């Protein structure tokens, strides 16, 4: 097997996911109501959730399992 390529990311995962969510919302806003638009909006919501995960995980309200 070949070696796995490693890419050094210059932006955090959260930044990239937030950008992806914005792009998806922009594309969805240019479509008429329908299944394709709803699918793009759903993907945007998922990306936004991912963009906020590390904030939630590192918030003081989160407790490690016992």
pLDDT band at 56 (very low <50, low <70, confident <90, very high): confident
Give me the pLDDT at residue 53, please: 83
User: Has this prediction a pTM greater than 0.85?
Assistant: no
CA dist 34 and 16 (Å) reads 27
pLDDT 10s digits, 1-46 = 668 887 777 888 889 999 999 999 999 999 999 999 999 999 999 9
CB atoms within 10 A of CB 66: 3
**Quick check: helix, strand or coil at residue 31?**
coil
- 61 within 8 A of 27, measured Cβ to Cβ: no
Q: Report the sign of the C-alpha dihedral through residues 36, 40, 45, 50, in that order.
A: positive
Give me the pLDDT at residue 1, please: 62
Give me the pLDDT at residue 62, please: 65
């Amino acid at each position: 097997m070949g070696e796995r390529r490693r890419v050094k990311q210059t932006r955090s995962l959260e930044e990239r996911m937030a950008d992806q969510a914005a792009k998806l919302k922009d594309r969805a806003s240019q479509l008429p109501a329908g299944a394709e638009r709803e699918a793009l909006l759903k993907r945007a919501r998922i990306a936004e959730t991912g963009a906020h995960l590390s904030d939630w995980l590192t918030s003081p309200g989160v407790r490690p399992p016992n």
